[in-house]
Amino acid sequence: MNKPDIGAISAWNRGSSRVLAKTRILELHGVTYSHPGRKSESEFTVIHTSDWVNVVATTLDRQIVLVRQFRYGINAPSLEIPGGIIEEGEDPVQAGIRELLEETGFAGTHARVLGRVHPNPAIQNNRCHLVWVENAVRRSEVAWDEHEELEVITLPVDRAYALAHAGEITHSLVLNGLLLFSPYWAGLKSGT
């Protein structure tokens, strides 16, 4: 099977942009783009929001720190890794350490970026930074935002992967975090 030549895709020309709506966490923009070859032009909806961070935090006894919280978009609880908005000018690793501590009371060592993903490049301009924090232990009480209420859970890492495969963890960014963490987890399990 032949692979498509991605380089052959035309870059659309960006035109004007206007703010359609503004909330405390995002701006909705109408952005005009035109295709250079077909000369077609249309306005597309783009969500402008801050970058995010999600944290894979593992304990010395090979547990992963998870949170269960109510999610308004699905009107139901969701099992996730901790995470949140990166503040203006904040380093993603520091943001991950902060979010982990605020949401769970856990802190650890050897924090590093596993990778970065675009949550939905079809309609969003931001990135989510996936951070791994090792040797996480409970250090303090939680410091939730006024709209947060979380259940903090630790599970064996393999159990978290089993829940993901069984469709019990459905948040796409959490699945990204588990995917990017999997080679490290394989190395830890094998002792390399």
> Which tens digits make up the pLDDT trace of 35-74?
988 889 999 999 999 999 999 999 999 999 999 999 999 9
Please report which confidence band the pLDDT of residue 192 belongs to, taking 50, 70 and 90 as the band edges.
low
Put simply, whether the predicted model's pTM sits higher than 0.85 gets the answer: yes
Mean pLDDT of 160-188: 96
Instruction: Provide the total of helices (H) and of strands (E) in the chain, helices listed first.
Output: 3, 10
CATH number for the region 52-190 comes to 3.90.79.10
Q: Hey, where are the domains in the chain?
A: 10-48, 52-190
What is the structure's pLDDT at 3? 64
**108-127 per-position pLDDT tens digit:** 999 999 999 999 999 999 99
Report the chain's mean pLDDT, rounded to a whole number.
93
The closest alpha carbon to 127, from 151, 95, 155, belongs to 95
Euclidean distance between CA atoms 121 and 20, whole angstroms = 19
Q: What are phi and psi of 15, to 5 degrees?
A: -110, -135
What is the structure's pLDDT at 4? 59
